[in-house]
Each structure stands twice: as C-alpha cells, then as structure tokens.
Amino acid sequence: MKKVLIILFFLLLAVFIISIGVGSVFIPPLRVLKALLSLIGINLGRVNDTDLTIVGQIRLPRIIIAMIVGMSLALAGALVQGLYRNPMADPGIIGTSSGASFGAIVCIAFSLNTINIFYLPLFAFAGALFISFLVYKLSTKNNKTPITNLILIGIAVSTFVSSINSLILSNINQYQVSEYIFWMLGSLDGRSWVHVKISFIPLCILILYSLLFAKRINILILGEEESFTIGVNPEQLKKSLLLLVSLITGIAVSVSGPISFVGLIVPHMIRFIVGSDYRRLIPASILSGGIFLIVCDTIARALFSPVEVKVGIITSLVGVPYFLYLLKKRENEVSV
C-alpha cells in the first residue's frame, strides 16, 4: 500500500510541475522547478524574470486550485460512496451541487458578484451547505436517517432547486445568464492567489480530518446493526460524514464551479487498485483526484489553444462514457 501512495505522490508532483510549464509560452520542467524554488527563497542559479512572472503570478495559483479541488471532490465522492455503501454515489446525490448552483445564481441575479470577488464563492458555499442540510433534515425521522430516504429526497430537492434556478434564469438579462452558464460549466480559468487564500487552508484541514473516519466507514459498510454492536453509532457517523462532505464540496465548488464526475470516477477507479478498505481508499483517492483534475485542466488549456475549453467539459467527456460503462457492467451483473 505504501508503494502505491508513494507512486501516486511522485506522479502528482511530476504532473504538477509539468502542467505549470504548459501554456501559450512553454517552460521546460527544470526551469519551472527553479522558478518554484526561487519563489520560496531557494536559488539554484539565475532564474528568468519572465519565468518567475508566468509561474508565480499566472499558472501556479491555478494549478494549486486544480490540485486541491480535485483532491477534495474525489475525497467527497469516496466518503459519499462509503456513506451510501454504493460505489456509484457522488456528492451531487445529497443536493450539494444544486445548492451551490442556487447560491451562485442568486448572487449573479442581484449582481452581487460585481461588488466583490468573494461574494460568488461565498453564496455558492452557503447554498451548498443550506440545501445539503435541508435534504438531511427532510430525510431524518425519529433521529434516524435511512439511506433510501436520503437518496430519494436528495433527488427530489435537487430537481426542485433546479426548477427554481431555471425560473430565475428566465428572468435575468443575457449577460447574467452567460455568467451563470460559464460558472456552471466548471472552470479554473482566471483563478488567482485570492481563490487560493479562500480555499486552500480550509480544504487541507478538512482533508486531513477526513482521514480519521476511514476505520469507522469500514465498520459502517458492514451494516448499521453490526456497527452499533462494534461500538460505532451509525446515525452520529452519518451526520458527521454529511457535514464533512457538504463543507468539502461547498468550499471546492465555490472556487471552481460544479466540476462533474470527479467524485464519481476517481474513487471508483482507484478502488480497482487499492481495494475497498477506506484506510487505503481515502488517501489514494485524494492523491488521484489531484492528478486527475490537473491533467484535465492541462488538456482544457492545451487542446484547442489559444481557445480554452472549460475543464468541466473535459471531465464530463471522460466521466459520461465511464458512467455508462459502470451502468452496463452492473446491469450484466444483475442479469447473471
């Protein structure tokens, strides 16, 4: 297991450095590395001023956001799949994505995003948190939250919120509609150190905190009665996981828009390599999520350069065929 994590870590490091060099001006990896070290005060020879500007001011914050958002969405997906005991679940099932979209469109409809750059991510985060807990409250009866209720109410509330979003969309001007659509496509375009300051430290803390849940998720997967017998309160664990997933997804989506399929396909694919033990699955999903989104963002920037494709389109192009493959696979397993 340690070998897999070490390989993933160095792969992430390599992808991180190479992707910083990719763009309208290509910078070889060695020059990127020298520029990065120079930025933290370690000088290994003369560094080109242009390299320092491109790396430090333009590409580095964007790649950091891609890495931390990818890690967060993959982690949230792994946690939700453990919570639902279903490898095909993702954070959207508890209404987080639709809630973030609702917060974003309210902010855009009242033009609050033009007042302060922080308002759009804050509204998206607040919307994600509000809808997630609305779903949880509606699903809870007598202090118990059946998984089936959570799924069905999550779908119903998400559909309802999407209808409200459509209603608002039909009553705002064309420019605001364009802004909302660009946000909904999921993009890392124009991400700066401001976005890093908003999201990096809170997400790092939540990612590290999530590692503490691995053993208890393993027990929860055995069944609620078994969990209770072993000493794990399943209801308390569900509440904690829902809060954790809502916070992680809400903060990540607030700085990137709702990037689809990362939370579904990364943990699912990494499960084939490390198995279903959450003590291995969670750290492997975190590292793989960072690699996946950095690669997708690099493709989005380079594929039709100088025109940039939204990274959410790339993840959907990868995710939809994979999701259909999973459905067909499950269908075949059921028929057998």
pTM, full prediction:
0.87
Task: Give the pLDDT confidence of 272-325 residue by residue, as tens digits.
Answer: 889 889 999 999 999 999 999 999 999 998 887 777 888 888 988 888 888 778
Does the pLDDT of residue 117 top 90, yes or no?
no
Domain ranges of the chain: 1-335
* Residue whose tokens read 């490898």: 87
Q: What is the pLDDT of residue 323?
A: 76
Task: Give the pLDDT confidence of 149-208 residue by residue, as tens digits.
Answer: 777 888 888 889 989 988 998 888 888 888 888 778 777 887 888 889 888 999 999 999
Homologous superfamily (CATH) for 1-335? ABC transporter involved in vitamin B12 uptake, BtuC (1.10.3470.10)
Give the mean pLDDT of 223-234. 80
Q: What is the pLDDT of residue 120?
A: 80
- Picking from 5-9, 19-23, 143-147, 315-319, which range would have the lowest pLDDT averaged per residue? 143-147
What residues contact residue 325 under an 8 Å CB cut-off, 6+ apart? none
CB atoms within 10 A of CB 149: 16
Kindly state the percentage of the chain with pLDDT values over 70: 97
DSSP states of 258-317: ---SHHHHHHHHHHHHH-S-HHHHHHHHHHHHHHHHHHHHHHHHHTTTTS---HHHHHHH
Exposure pattern of 303-318 as b/e (b: 16+ CB <10 Å)?
A: eeeeeebbbbbbbbeb
Q: What is the pLDDT of residue 20?
A: 94
Q: How confident is the model at residue 213 (pLDDT cuts 50, 70, 90)?
A: very high
DSSP states of 53-110: HIIIIIIHHHHHHHHHHHHHHHHHHHHHHHHHT-TT--GGGGTHHHHHHHHHHHHHHT
255 vs 210, more confident: 210
290 vs 88, more confident: 290
Q: How confident is the model at residue 335 (pLDDT cuts 50, 70, 90)?
A: low
Looking at the DSSP bridge assignments, the partners of residue 144 are 141
300 vs 227, more confident: 300
Q: What is the pLDDT of residue 59?
A: 92
184 and 258 in contact (C-beta within 8 Å)? yes
Q: What is the pLDDT of residue 330?
A: 66
Q: What is the pLDDT of residue 69?
A: 94
**pLDDT averaged over every residue in the chain:** 86
- Picking from 62-76, 137-151, 252-266, which range would have the lowest pLDDT averaged per residue? 137-151
Kindly state the percentage of the chain with pLDDT values over 90: 29
Does the pLDDT of residue 126 top 80, yes or no?
yes
319 and 265 in contact (C-beta within 8 Å)? yes
